[in-house]
Amino acid sequence: MQHDSADIADNASIAATARIWHYAQVRENASVGENCVIGRGAYVGSGVEVGDNCKIQNYALVYEPAKLGRGVFIGPAVVLTNDHFPRAINADGSAKSAHDWKPVGVDIREGASIGANSTCIAPLVIGRWALVGAGSVVVKDVPEFALVVGSPARRIGWVGTAGHPLTEISPSLWECPVTGAHYQETATDLLIEVQDS
């Protein structure tokens, strides 16, 4: 379903089950997967890849060449940037054109969530199932399952696939209070889901 006021490029690839709301813009060569929701006034840049079951909330700006994995949540007014060293003009004072810079993207992996009004400064990768707290400024890669907040964002804990903070039940072993799933913290400061036997 596409609202009449949405601005969708003719060559954008939009799944039949995607919903695109009032005044949203989806640019050329962008792809939007099955069951996605793109909220009012959201922007999806040229060539951006949006996986199945994603939600891009109202007024979020997803600049090219961002990639969103399956089940990614982008909160209201989130900005995914694409220029590490932005300038309107070159050093000689001439207007900067598309030929004067190379876009870099934010790569958000499966199930990750970016809280409202956060900014992600490209280039960076946000790992699977990570959670960025509202209002954060992310300037470096975020590990899988990490809970990060602040400006600049820093890890303050871990979350499970349910999105809730995990509880440490023994040294380096964490539990989800919602699903009961267990996660193991590794020596490299990463978290892996433990398959209970």
How far is Cα 57 from Cα 69, in angstroms, rounded to an integer?
16
Calculate the CA 123 to chain-centre distance: 12
pLDDT given for residue 143 in this prediction:
95
Radius of gyration of the chain from Cα atoms?
18
Taking only the tens place, the pLDDT of each residue in 62-79 is 999 999 999 999 999 999
pLDDT above 90 (res 195): no
| Span of 106-110, 144-148, 159-163, 184-188 with lowest mean pLDDT | 184-188
pLDDT above 60 (res 197): no
Domains of the chain: 7-159 (2.160.10.10), 162-197 (no CATH)
Taking only the tens place, the pLDDT of each residue in 80-113 is 999 988 999 999 999 998 888 899 999 999 999 9
DSSP secondary structure of 127-160: -TT-EEPTT-EE-S-B-TTEEEETTTTEEEEEB-
- SS3 label, residue 100: helix
In DSSP terms, 168 is beta-bridged to 174
Mean pLDDT of 1-13: 92
Percent of the chain with pLDDT over 70: 98
What pLDDT band is residue 191 in, cutting at 50, 70 and 90?
Answer: confident
Are the CB atoms for 58 and 41 separated by under 8 Å? Answer: yes
